[in-house]
């Protein structure tokens, strides 16, 4: 196995013009994160291309993609799609692959547990950064939204009932993040007091106010972006 891995890294280094030392460190990280030995060379080739395309450090790219693969229980072969969608988010918003990969771990487990797709998380983050919110802050805010939905306060439950709003894990699992926020936008409108009662924390309130308000059109546009289509498989950095 060690000889195979070593030979594979030399090949990836030549093909992607990536330093062997960087590949070695990143591959160890990937294997430690659950990438299978027999998929390591292919995964590293994809990751090296993505890091180049996104102008970011290889270990940061690997950290972000393995966070997604593990949280959403995806095989390493899905890495191409994961990186492509991260780069779409980079190009749509005011963010970078490095910032996305370095922060998505904050929200990945919570989102996956609520059946919210990583595409929605990336689209939401891109929209929020387009509105001036920093990437790391956007991911923190999204995690707060999902946490508050997962464990709604008594005040939130009372407010949701008053609005005739289905609020909780079951609602977001069945509707997805976009559908859930659209329902809130319809029922609560721009009622800031109602939103504050529903989401409690300042971070969660700001995220919902952004995605169901000022940046709702950007969020919807990001989700409609054809480059998020999983059927359009390309190597990261191959362009359109």
Most confident of 5-9, 110-114, 217-221: 110-114
The reported pLDDT for the residue numbered 232 is 43
Q: Is 233 exposed, middle or buried (0-12, 13-18, 19+ CB in 10 A)?
A: exposed
Q: How confident is the model at residue 3 (pLDDT cuts 50, 70, 90)?
A: low
Report the share of the chain in percent with pLDDT over 70.
92
Question: Which of 102-106, 111-115, 232-236 bottoms out in mean pLDDT, i.e. has the lowest?
Answer: 232-236
Residues 6+ apart with CB under 8 A from 80: 46, 233, 234, 235, 236
Q: How would DSSP label each residue in 217-232?
A: HHHHHHHH-GGG-TTS
The reported pLDDT for the residue numbered 229 is 57
The reported pLDDT for the residue numbered 213 is 86
The reported pLDDT for the residue numbered 6 is 81
Q: How confident is the model at residue 236 (pLDDT cuts 50, 70, 90)?
A: low
8 A C-beta contact, residue 24 and residue 59: no
Mean pLDDT of 157-180: 94
8 A C-beta contact, residue 65 and residue 29: no
The reported pLDDT for the residue numbered 68 is 98
The reported pLDDT for the residue numbered 240 is 38
Mean pLDDT of 26-52: 96
Higher pLDDT, 190 or 33: 33
Two tokens, residue 68: 């997604």
Q: In this predicted model, what pLDDT tens digit does every residue of 45-101 receive, in sequence order?
A: 999 999 999 999 999 999 999 999 999 999 999 999 999 999 999 999 999 999 999
Q: In this predicted model, what pLDDT tens digit does every residue of 178-234 receive, in sequence order?
A: 999 999 989 988 788 999 999 988 899 999 989 988 899 999 999 887 676 554 444
The reported pLDDT for the residue numbered 201 is 84
Q: Report the candidate in 133, 64, 71 with the shortest Cα–Cα distance to residue 104.
A: 64
Q: In this predicted model, what pLDDT tens digit does every residue of 14-28 receive, in sequence order?
A: 999 999 999 999 999
Rounded distance, CA 12 to CA 210, Å?
42
């Amino acid at each position: 196995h060690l000889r195979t891995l070593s030979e594979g890294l030399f090949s990836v280094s030549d093909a992607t013009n990536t330093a062997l030392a960087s590949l070695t460190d990143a591959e160890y990280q990937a294997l430690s994160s659950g990438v299978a030995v027999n998929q390591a060379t292919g995964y590293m080739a994809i990751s090296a291309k993505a890091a180049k395309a996104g102008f970011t450090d290889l270990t940061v790219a690997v950290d972000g993609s393995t966070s997604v693969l593990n949280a959403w229980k995806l095989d390493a072969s899905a890495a191409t799609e994961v990186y492509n969608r991260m780069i779409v988010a980079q190009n749509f918003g005011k963010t970078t692959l490095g910032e996305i990969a370095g922060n998505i771990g904050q929200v990945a487990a919570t989102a996956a547990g609520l059946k919210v797709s990583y595409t929605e998380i990336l689209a939401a983050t891109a929209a929020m950064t387009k509105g001036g919110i920093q990437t790391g802050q956007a991911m923190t805010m999204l995690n707060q939204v999902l946490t508050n939905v997962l464990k709604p306060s008594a005040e939130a439950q009372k407010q949701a009932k008053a609005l005739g709003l289905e609020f909780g894990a079951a609602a977001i699992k069945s509707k997805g993040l976009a559908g859930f926020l659209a329902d809130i936008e319809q029922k609560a409108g721009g009622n800031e007091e109602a939103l504050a009662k529903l989401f409690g924390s300042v971070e969660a309130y700001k995220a919902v106010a952004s995605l169901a308000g000022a940046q709702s059109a950007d969020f919807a546009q990001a989700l409609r972006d054809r480059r998020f289509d999983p059927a359009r498989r390309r190597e990261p950095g191959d362009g359109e």
